[in-house]
Amino acid sequence: MKALADLFAAFGSTLVDILPIVIIVFGFQWFAFRRPIANPRRILTGFIYVIVGMTLFLVGLEEALFPVGRLMAQQLTAPDFLGIGHDDAQWSHYIWVYLFAAAIGFATTIAEPALIAVAYKANQVSAGAVNAWALRVAVGLGVGAGLALGALRIVTGTPLHLIIMVGYIVVIVQTFFAPRQIIALAYDSGGVTTSTVTVPIVTALGLGLAGTISGRSQLLDGFGLIAFASLFPIITVLGYAQFAEWRLRKLKKRDDAESPEPE
């Protein structure tokens, strides 16, 4: 019975999510172009697939992953597990938390549907030059690094904006050296990382961490993990593009050296 209720709840929230899109798209189709949509059956089937797909996806997450993920986030941040009191906590006591943040950040990002969509499109538009899987791994590494650092920040209490500012400077400097083709995609990949899968587990982690450390307020310090998870992928994707370009240049140089000089 509960599973059925979950199913309807997920279906409802997906409908609410997609309804504005349907109204806007069909409204504009009618008022701006004054003609019906091309291929209506195909588009409609696509929409139904998306709605049913998202519903199953959400219900499955709620059944399988979220309860365990949330529980783990609470258990890992509990002083009992870490073997420390509330007051003598030091940043080094939380190694498992950083590791968990990094691992779960990477893993949930790989399963994030919005990122799959963007990677798919990037692969298509670049005619295969951007490898969809490599892009997703680069973004996943960025989210993992961002969340680990974000957890460390909650423990040490460093002001959020200082680290974000340093991140911005790194992004801007990297932009000057990265291949031009990748810049827009890299900036976009910051925004697509945190939606359906990542946010619920990450929120539990942040609130759990801020709740167990004395002097941290859940409301003030529990936030900021999402901000990190949106900033660091930009750095890793730009870095990946720089690395790919560097390797290509190196290979080319070697090829040039190996091929006999024309005389």
Partner 1 sequence: MSENGEQRKTPLLFVQGRRLYHLVVDAFRDLTPVILVVAVFQLLILKQPFPHLEQVLTGTVLVAAGLFLFIRGLEIGLFPLGETMAYDFARKGSLAWLLLFAFALGFGTTIAEPALIAVAGEAAKIAADGGVITPNTDNLEHYALGLRVTVALSVGFAIVVGVIRILKGWPLHYLIAAGYIGVVAITPFAPASMVGIAYDSGGVTTSTITVPLVTALGIGLASSIKGRNPMIDGFGLIAFASLTPMIFVMVYGMLLQ
Report how many residues bind partner 1 under the rule CB under 8 A.
107
121 binds partner 1 (CB under 8 A): yes
Q: Which is nearer to partner 1, 83 or 260 (CB)?
A: 83
Q: Which is nearer to partner 1, 172 or 257 (CB)?
A: 172
Altogether, the residues listed in the chain come to a count of 263
Counting Cβ atoms within 10 Å, is residue 66 exposed (0-12), middle (13-18) or buried (19+)?
A: middle
CB of 253 to partner 1, least distance (A): 25
CB of 66 to partner 1, least distance (A): 9
182's CB contacts (< 8 A; 6+ apart) are 130, 237, 238, 241
End-to-end, the C-alpha distance of the chain in Å comes to: 81
126 binds partner 1 (CB under 8 A): yes
- Beta strands per DSSP E along 66-114: none
28 binds partner 1 (CB under 8 A): yes
Interaction residues for partner 1, span 193-222 (CB under 8 A): 193-197, 199, 219-222
Q: Segment contacting partner 1 (CB under 8 A): 85-93, 169-177, 239-247, 254-262?
A: 169-177
Taking residues 29 to 68 in sequence order and writing x for each that binds partner 1 by CB under 8 A, - otherwise, the string is: x--xx---xxx-xxxxxxxxxxxxxxxxxxxxxxxxx-xx
Q: Which is nearer to partner 1, 44 or 251 (CB)?
A: 44
Report d(CA 205, CA 165) in Å as an integer. Answer: 23
In contact, 113 and 194? CB cutoff 8 Å: no
161 binds partner 1 (CB under 8 A): yes
Q: Which is nearer to partner 1, 169 or 253 (CB)?
A: 169
- Taking 3-state DSSP, the helix, strand and coil percentages for the chain, each rounded to the nearest 5, stand at 80, 0, 20
